[in-house]
Structure 1
Amino acid sequence: MLRRRLLAALFALGLGSAAVAGEAAAADYVIGVEELNYFPVYGVRDGAYGGAAREIFDAFAADAGISFAYRPLPVNRLYADLTGGGIDFKFPDNPAWAPGAKDAATVTYSAPVITYIDGVVVKPERVGQGADAVVVLGTVTGFTPFSWLDRIAAGKPRLTENGQMDALLRQVLAGRIDGAYVSVAVANHLLATDLGKPGGLVFDPGLPHSRDTYRLSTTRHADLLARFDAWLADNAERVAAIKTRTGAEAGLE
């Protein structure tokens, strides 16, 4: 019985891997994406990539007469595949991220796709206590809390990582860490949906935070990236409607 179950599991895994490989082979281009639940901006759920980012890329692909496949990978693996040619594009990316990991290749970036605020979410009663009150700060594995780097280097706060944002937020809710440095829009979405704790944690604007943009990057297809930039400009209202409907830029006011 155990052997039959093992063989069945291996067979199912083989079919799943073949399906992913087949999808990538059938597509014109492969976008490497983060293997994270980062909804409503982007994320992987039940093996499928979704969110506002996918809606935007699929809309462009349809207009351009091309097709994209989305390959979820661990954050750190994405840089190796981008510079090594294992993927055609990477999303999200930003010129400021992991420069050392991209030294071996010339990386071209798109115009901004989605704007975000990365900041610290805390329990409501801790808002306004200041940076010195944050003794242990959490972040998602592979992410860099740029606006806290000087303080972390000085020894306070101590940085801890978690592979999944929902688990990271649970640590803050349980009081095991003082705050989580995360995307504000994503944290609000998770609190209101998966965690069932709307308002259980709030963004503290008095703590160090950063506002920047997610971009699409490539080492191989700068010409197509230029077409994407032109499409973004020509379809600004359409793109804005996607972001408003999904809440991808919620909390930026």
Structure 2
Amino acid sequence: MQVDEIARCKMRLTLISMAFFCMAFIGPAAASSFVVGVEEIDYYPLHSCVNGKFSGYGRDLLDAFAKQSGYSFTYTPLPVSRLFHTFLNDSSIDFKYPDNPHWQADLKKGKSIFYSQPVVNVIEGLLVKPEKVDQLSETSLKAIVTMRGFTPWPFEQAMRQKINNGTIRVYQEDSFSKVISLGMTGHYDAVYASPIVINYYLDEIVHKPGALVFDRKLPFENSDFSLSSIRQGDVIKQFNEFLAKNQPLIMELKKKYRLTDKAAQ
């Protein structure tokens, strides 16, 4: 009996040791796995999610940070509007990319959100048919087409009021290719988006360079794209350190995706 009792004690000790050993490995691994909510749109080369696959400059940059920091990122694509609501109200998402303090500011009231330093600065404004360049003004704009969930927040209060009361109509589409196609028909005054994205699509996808032109006389804004989080402030700090220490890598990625090409804007 004593031999059996000793054997059982040894077995229990072995099982306890194995449990602690497993916890030592499982604990850190779980803490280093995060979910990044991303926009379910094709906004390439900045970022794109087609058939569930996240790609573009944003993906490469976040992957480089994760690899260097020992993290594992899972990317969850959601429509732009739903992504905001899920990020703000559902703990299933640890980070949102891209984000900006000005985007959907009303929804964010009362929320404490950590934002990284900008990973890229992007002009977003109005693109028109070539024959309409310099022909439109803030007072003559009647119809704008953009992606669903996009908000032309750079516009002055007077223009926002016109949008709110319907004087300027904003049509939203789920597909960015649809937005561009509608813009090229000429049935709308302008397309609201980034010239980088528009020009890439026109040059590389439909092979109609210059079919839409960025009109600098109409309202536009420089938008910073950042990584944001409600709960992972420490990781945001680490990401900022990564950005500061890896400028050569960042510049290489920007060149890869033509984000340094002046012609793109």
Category of TM-score, reference length = shorter chain: 0.7 to 0.9
Taking the aligned partners of 1:44 and 1:167, their CA distance within structure 2 comes to 16
- The 8 Å contact of residues 56 and 242 in structure 1, kept in 2 or not, is answered as yes
Corresponding residue number in structure 1 for 2:62: 57
Secondary structure, in 3 states, of the residue corresponding to 1:170? Answer: helix
Q: How far apart in 2 are the matches of 1:104 and 1:85?
A: 16
**TM-score with structure 2 setting the length:** 0.81
Identity %: 35
Alignment of 1:1-253 (within 5 A): 28-83=33-88, 84-131=90-137, 132-148=139-155, 150-154=158-162, 155-248=166-259, 250-251=261-262
Structure 2: give runs of 5+ residues left out of the alignment.
Answer: 1-29
Q: Deviations over 1:5-36 (max 9, x none)?
A: xxxxxxxxxxxxxxxxxxxx998111000000
Alpha-carbon distance, 1:80 to partner: 2.2
SS at match of 1:193: helix
Q: Which runs of 5+ in 1 are unaligned?
A: 1-24
Q: Runs of at least 4 residues of structure 1 off by over 6 A?
A: none
Give the number of the structure whose alpha-carbon radius of gyration is greater: 2
Contact 1:121 1:179 in 2 (8 A): yes
Deviates more, 1:25-34 or 1:48-57: 25-34
Q: Which residue of 1 aligns with 2:18?
A: none
TM-score (norm 1): 0.85
Instruction: Tell me the CA shift for residue 140 of structure 1.
Output: 1.0
The one-letter code sitting in structure 1 at the alignment partner of 2:82 is: R
CA deviations on 1:79-133 (whole Å, 9 max, x unpaired) are 2222221200000100111122223531110000111001111111111113244
Check the 8 A contact 2:39/2:97 in 1, yes or no. yes
Measured after TM superposition, the shift of residue 165 of structure 1 is 1.7
How many equivalent residue pairs?
229
